[in-house]
Amino acid sequence: MFTEGFEQFFKTNKNLSTPLTEWNKTYTEMCRRIAQKNIEQMGENVSRFSEQLKQLSNMRKPEDFIQWQKECLEEEMAASMEYAQEIIHTSMANMEELTKLCKSTCGTWHESTMTAAKTATKNTERTAKRTAEKVAEKTEEITK
């Protein structure tokens, strides 16, 4: 009698583990993509910085230095805007994946919890019916 609810709870948890596995896989993939983008951007930053240092070492006149500063600033601003666009694009793609995952997971959770609730209700009704029958039997025995 008391173990019925526990067994149903265990079955519900078993049904919930599949969607959580999907979430873990999706998050792992998202983190992998983000880390890959970060590594690519770091590589681009290092190569751009080394190129700028080469240009700086080849300068002979102060006018060249001012021009070089302007070019470096423009390059850095363009790279920053490009990185911001990549971050926004990646975030939007991740949010789209999460939205799809939420829809499927919530549907699965809803179905499994509704099934568990229906089963628990049926079990409770059966138990109540059996208890009422036993009470009726005992009442009959006592009244005889």
The whole-number pLDDT of residue 1 equals: 47
**Res 39: pLDDT:** 94
Whole-number percent of the chain with pLDDT over 70: 75
Is 112:15 a contact under the CB 8 Å cutoff? yes
As a whole number, mean pLDDT of residues 42-60 equals 92
The pLDDT value recorded for residue 125 is: 72
Instruction: Please state the pTM of the whole predicted model.
Output: 0.56
Q: Give the three-state DSSP class for 4.
A: helix
> Please, are residues 138 and 49 in contact by the beta-carbon 8 Å criterion?
no
Q: Which stretches does DSSP call E strand in 1-144?
A: none
Rounded mean pLDDT of 1-11?
56
Per-residue pLDDT tens over the stretch 96-143: 888 888 777 666 655 666 666 667 667 777 777 777 787 777 777 777
Name, in order, each residue with C-beta under 8 angstroms of 116's C-beta and a sequence gap of 6 or more.
8, 9, 11, 12
Measured CA to CA, the distance from residue 44 to residue 55 in angstroms comes to 17
Can you give the residue range of the structural domain that contains 98? Answer: 3-143
pLDDT at 6: 55
61 backbone φψ class: left, alpha, beta (φ>0; ψ -120 to 50): beta
Q: What is the pLDDT of residues 54-107, one digit of tens each?
A: 998 988 888 888 999 999 999 999 999 999 999 899 889 888 888 888 777 666
Domain count across the chain: 1
pLDDT band at 22 (very low <50, low <70, confident <90, very high): confident
Q: Is the pLDDT of residue 16 over 50?
A: yes
Q: CA 103, CA 99: separation in Å to the nearest integer? A: 6
